[in-house]
C-alpha cells in the first residue's frame, strides 16, 4: 500500500478524496491537511462533513496537519483553493513528493500533464520533462472533464471543427460555504469567474497530441458560456459540435458505447463504461444520473443531428467526483501502475 496525503482534506473535494480513498486497494491515507484554522484539530472537529455517509473511521480521529512538506507519504492529492495551491504544491514537488492536483495553478504549465486518463493518458510522459525531485500531475476543471469525455470518441472517429458549450453548474462547484443562498435560490447566475476561459483552453490541451516531448494543442475552436444553477451536485453541459467528416446519430452513439480506453488496465476507480448514453427524452438529469458508476461516468443524452456535420447533445458530470477527486485518484492509479511496469 502506498501512503498518501490529502491537502484541503476538509473541503468539498477533500471530503470526496477521503470517501474514495477510505477503502482503496493501492492507497492508504496517512495525512490529512488543511488551513492553519484546522491544523491541530481532530478531523471530525475540523470538517463540516457534507456526504451522506459517516466520516470514515481511518480519518475520524486523525489530527489535521499544516500543508508543509514533512509528511510520511509518497503521493499527495491536492484539493487546495487555486489562489494558494501553486506555491504550496511547488514546495511538495521540490521536497520529492508526487503531487496530483485539482487546482488550476499548474494545469497549463508547459511541462505539467493535464490528464483525464480515458482521454489522454499518453500525456503523462510529460513529467519526464520536469527536472524537480518530485513531480506534479493535474486534472482539469470539472466542466472540462464533462466536455472532453464525450468529445474524445467524436474527435477520434470524425474530427472536430468547432465546439460551443453552455454549462449549468452545481453549487458544490464553488466549494464550501460557496455561493450565498440568497444569490442562488430561485435564481441562475450567468457568470462563474474564470470558468469559461478554463474550458476553452484546457480542452484544447487535453485533446492535443503529444509530439516530440510537447503538447500540440487541438486546433478546433471552443466557445463556452457558464451558468451557476440551484442544483447541489452535478454539472450539465449543452454541447454543440461540428465534425470534420459527415456522420450520423447512430455512429456517434456507437462511438460513445464503444469508448472503453482503460478496459484492460485494472485501475480500481475506472468505470467500466466511462460514457453512458441515455436514450430517453428527459435524460440526463443531475438528481437521477449524477451517481451512475459511483459518480465516475459521464452521462450523455438528447443527441440530435442538425446537419450532416452538426450535432447537439447534453452531458452530465458529477463535479466533485468525476470532475475532481475521482479523476485525480484515477491519475494516481495510472501513475502507480505505469511506474511499476
Ligand atoms: N468543488 C468542485 O466541484 C471542484 C471541481 C474541480 C476542481 N475543484 C478545485 O478543487 C479545489 C478545492 O475545491 P473545494 O470545492 O473543495 O473548496 P473548499 O470546499 O473551499 O475547500 C478548500 C480546502 O482548502 C483548505 N484551505 C483553504 N485555505 C487554505 C490555506 N491557506 N492553506 C491550506 N489549506 C487551505 C480548506 O481548509 P479549512 O477547512 O481549514 O479552511 C479546505 O480544506 C479548488 O482548487 C477548486 O477549484 C473543485
Q: List pLDDT tens digits, range 100-145.
A: 999 999 999 999 999 999 999 999 999 999 999 999 999 999 999 9
Query: Which segments of 95-242 does DSSP mark as H helices, in order?
Result: 117-120, 142-158, 181-184, 195-206
Mean pLDDT of the chain: 97
Determine if ligand 1 sits within 6 Å of the CB of residue 41.
no
| Cβ(11) – ligand 1 distance below 6 Å | yes
Domains annotated for the chain, with CATH where assigned, are 2-141+324-339 (3.40.50.720), 142-318 (3.30.360.10)
Q: What is the pLDDT of residues 25-47, one digit of tens each?
A: 999 999 999 999 999 999 999 99
- Counting residues of the chain whose pLDDT is more than 90, the rounded percentage is 98
How far away, in angstroms, is 266 Cα from ligand 1 center? 30
Is the CB of 295 inside a 6 Å radius of any atom of ligand 1? Answer: no
Q: What spacing in Å lies between the alpha carbon of 113 and ligand 1's midpoint?
A: 21
Predicted local distance difference test score (pLDDT) of residue 309: 98
pTM (2 d.p.): 0.97
Pairwise CA distance, residues 183 & 186, whole Å: 8
Q: Facing residues of 235 across strands? A: 317
Question: For 50, phi and psi rounded to 5 degrees?
Answer: -120, 0
Predicted confidence (pLDDT) at residue 338 exceeds the cutoff of 90:
no
Place of cell 510520511: 72
As annotated, the active-site residues are 142, 235
273-315 residue pLDDT tens: 999 999 999 999 999 999 999 999 999 999 999 999 999 999 9
pLDDT digits (tens, 9 = 90+) for 48-96: 999 999 999 999 999 999 999 999 999 999 999 999 999 999 999 999 9
The span from the CA of 72 to the CA of 63, in Å, is 14
- CA distances for 273 relative to 65, 252, 293, angstroms: 37, 15, 8
With beta carbons less than 8 A apart as the criterion, state whether 322 and 297 touch: yes
Query: Residue of the nearest CA to atom 30 in ligand 1?
Result: 35
176 CA to centre of ligand 1 in angstroms: 8
3-state DSSP helix/strand/coil percent for the chain, to nearest 5?
Answer: 35, 25, 40
Q: Which protein residue has the closest C-alpha to ligand 1 atom 40? A: 35
Q: Give me the residues paired with residue 237 across strands.
A: 167, 315
Q: Predicted confidence band at 340 (pLDDT cuts at 50, 70, 90)? A: confident
113 touches ligand 1 (CB under 6 Å): no
| C-alpha closest to that of 227 among 175, 173, 149 | 173
Q: How far apart are CA 249 and CA 232, in angstroms?
A: 31
For 207-257, write each residue's pLDDT tens digit.
999 998 999 999 999 999 999 999 999 999 999 999 999 999 999 999 999
- 303, 249 contact by CB (below 8 A): yes
Q: How does DSSP assign 57-103, residue by residue?
A: HHHHTPBPEES-S--S-SEEEE---HHHHHHHHHHHHHTT-EEEE-S
What are the distances in angstroms from CA 158 to CA 76, 208, 241, 244?
38, 15, 11, 6
The per-residue DSSP string of 27-49 comes to: EEEEEEEE-TTTTTSBHHHH---
Q: Is the pLDDT of residue 341 over 90?
A: no
pLDDT value of residue 320: 98
Amino acid at each position: 500500500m502506498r501512503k498518501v496525503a490529502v491537502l484541503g482534506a476538509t473541503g468539498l473535494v477533500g471530503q470526496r478524496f477521503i470517501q474514495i480513498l477510505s477503502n482503496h486497494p493501492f492507497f492508504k491515507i496517512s495525512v490529512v491537511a488543511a488551513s492553519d484554522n484546522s491544523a491541530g484539530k481532530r478531523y471530525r472537529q475540523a470538517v463540516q462533513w457534507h456526504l451522506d455517509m459517516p466520516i470514515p473511521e481511518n480519518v475520524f480521529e486523525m489530527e489535521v496537519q499544516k500543508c508543509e512538506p514533512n509528511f510520511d507519504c509518497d503521493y499527495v492529492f491536492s484539493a487546495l483553493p487555486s489562489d494558494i495551491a501553486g506555491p504550496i504544491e511547488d514546495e511538495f514537488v521540490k521536497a520529492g513528493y508526487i503531487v496530483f492536483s485539482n487546482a488550476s495553478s499548474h494545469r497549463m504549465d508547459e511541462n505539467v500533464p493535464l490528464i483525464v486518463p480515458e482521454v489522454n493518458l499518453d500525456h503523462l510522459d510529460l513529467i519526464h520533462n520536469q527536472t524537480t525531485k518530485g513531480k506534479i500531475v493535474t486534472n482539469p476543471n470539472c466542466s472540462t472533464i464533462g466536455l472532453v469525455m464525450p468529445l474524445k470518441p467524436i474527435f477520434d472517429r470524425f474530427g472536430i471543427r468547432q465546439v460551443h458549450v453552455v454549462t449549468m453548474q452545481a453549487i458544490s462547484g464553488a466549494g464550501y460555504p460557496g455561493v450565498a443562498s440568497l444569490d442562488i435560490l430561485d435564481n441562475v447566475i450567468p457568470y462563474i469567474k474564470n470558468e469559461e476561459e478554463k474550458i476553452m483552453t484546457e480542452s484544447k490541451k487535453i485533446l492535443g497530441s503529444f509530439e516530440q516531448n510537447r503538447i500540440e494543442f487541438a486546433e478546433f475552436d471552443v466557445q463556452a458560456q457558464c451558468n451557476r444553477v440551484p442544483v447541489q451536485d452535478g454539472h450539465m453541459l449543452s454541447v454543440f459540435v461540428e465534425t470534420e467528416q459527415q456522420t450520423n446519430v447512430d455512429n456517434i452513439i456507437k462511438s460513445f458505447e464503444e469508448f472503453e480506453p482503460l478496459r484492460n488496465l485494472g485501475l480500481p476507480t475506472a468505470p467500466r463504461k466511462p460514457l453512458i448514453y441515455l436514450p430517453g427524452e428527459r435524460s440526463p438529469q443531475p438528481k437521477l444520473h449524477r451517481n451512475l458508476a459511483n459518480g465516475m461516468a459521464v452521462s450523455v443524452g438528447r443527441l440530435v443531428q442538425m446537419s450532416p456535420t452538426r450535432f447537439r447533445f447534453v452531458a452530465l458530470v458529477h463535479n466533485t467526483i468525476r470532475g475532481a477527486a475521482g479523476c485525480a485518484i484515477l491519475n494516481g492509479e495510472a501513475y502507480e501502475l505505469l511506474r511499476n511496469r
